[in-house]
């Protein structure tokens, strides 16, 4: 079965230290007709509300927005988790935000974004974990795998900080371990 036949309902990318340049690279090489809603959950400074979305939009070939609570996911639009809010993917294809307790020292917590997407869309979820300096995201990505979704871990040898991908690799065997260029190829293969 081709990956494009799986008709993913959401792609969730999580990252922390060093991930801005990787995400920026992915977005700059993504097919403008990318057919799936994209969620970006990146650790960021809680008191800096602006700058990141603008920075990502500079090179991105699809729009990058910071969603409001209860906003609908949109195919071909990347939604970036706002600073100091957790982001959850809901059954009705909306985003919900929350100021609940910090998790893994993080808000947004990548584990929450992954696990809510897995819970809502099960095997129709594609999760990608990138470079980062803590273990956030590993359990959530595993929950995507447990629900028969598709999981990709950035090749640790290409990471600025390999803790986050390594934490995932210690926990389970993902579908693929890829370089950023290979991740772009996989994502673009989802375009018909």
Partner 1 sequence: MGVTLGINDLKMVTAEMAQYPDMDYSGLSFSFLKRRLTYVFEKLKVRKLVTFKERLSESEFREEVKYHMAVKVTEMFRDPGFWRSVRHNIFPALGERFSVWFPDTPSGEELFSFLVLLKESNLLDSVDIVCQHPSEKLCSEISLGVFDSRNGELNHSNYKRLEESDRFEDYFTNENGELTFKRSLLKNCRFRTKAAGIAEEGELFDFIVFRNSGINYSYGRHEELFKEIVEHIRPGGFLAIGVKESISGSLKDYLAVVDDKESLYRKPGVKNE
Active site (catalytic) residues: 16, 43, 136
Nearer to partner 1, 99 or 157 (CB): 99
Phi, psi of 78 (to 5 degrees): -95, 125
SS3 content of the chain, % helix, strand, coil (to 5): 35, 20, 45
Nearer to partner 1, 87 or 187 (CB): 87
Residue 100 CB, nearest approach to partner 1 (Å): 5
| Torsion sign, CA atoms 4, 80, 170, 22 | positive
Single residue of 60, 116, 151, 158 touching partner 1 by CB under 8 A: 116
Residue 103 CB, nearest approach to partner 1 (Å): 10
Residue 49 CB, nearest approach to partner 1 (Å): 7
C-alpha to C-alpha distance for 137 and 77, rounded to whole angstroms = 22
Q: Residue 166 corresponds to which tokens in the numbers above? A: 């390594």
Stretch that binds partner 1, among 1-9, 100-108, 142-150, 173-181 (CB under 8 A): 100-108
Q: Which residues pair with 86 in a beta bridge?
A: 98
E-only strand ranges, the chain: 10-15, 38-42, 64-65, 78-80, 86-89, 95-98, 125-129, 150-154, 176-178
Binding mask 25-64 for partner 1 (x = CB under 8 A): ----------------------x-x---------------
Instruction: Point out which residues bind partner 1 (CB under 8 A).
Output: 47, 49, 66-71, 82, 84-85, 88, 90, 94, 96-102, 116
């Amino acid at each position: 079965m081709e990956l494009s036949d799986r008709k993913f309902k959401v792609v969730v990318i999580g990252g922390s230290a060093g991930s801005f340049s990787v995400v920026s690279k992915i977005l700059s090489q993504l097919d403008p007709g990318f057919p799936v809603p994209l969620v970006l959950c990146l650790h960021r400074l809680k008191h800096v509300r602006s700058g990141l979305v603008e920075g990502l939009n500079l090179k991105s070939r699809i729009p990058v927005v910071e969603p409001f609570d209860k906003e609908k996911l949109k195919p071909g639009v990347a939604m970036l988790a706002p600073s100091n809010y957790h982001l959850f993917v809901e059954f009705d294809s909306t985003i919900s935000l929350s100021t609940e307790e910090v998790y893994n020292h993080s808000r947004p917590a990548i584990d929450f974004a992954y696990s809510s997407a897995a819970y809502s869309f099960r095997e129709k979820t594609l999760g990608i974990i990138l470079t980062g300096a803590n273990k956030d995201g590993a359990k959530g990505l595993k929950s995507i795998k447990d629900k028969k979704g598709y999981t990709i871990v950035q090749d640790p040898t290409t990471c600025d900080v390999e803790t986050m991908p390594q934490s995932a690799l210690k926990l389970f065997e993902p579908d693929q371990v890829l370089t950023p260029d290979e991740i772009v190829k996989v994502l673009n293969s989802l375009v018909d």
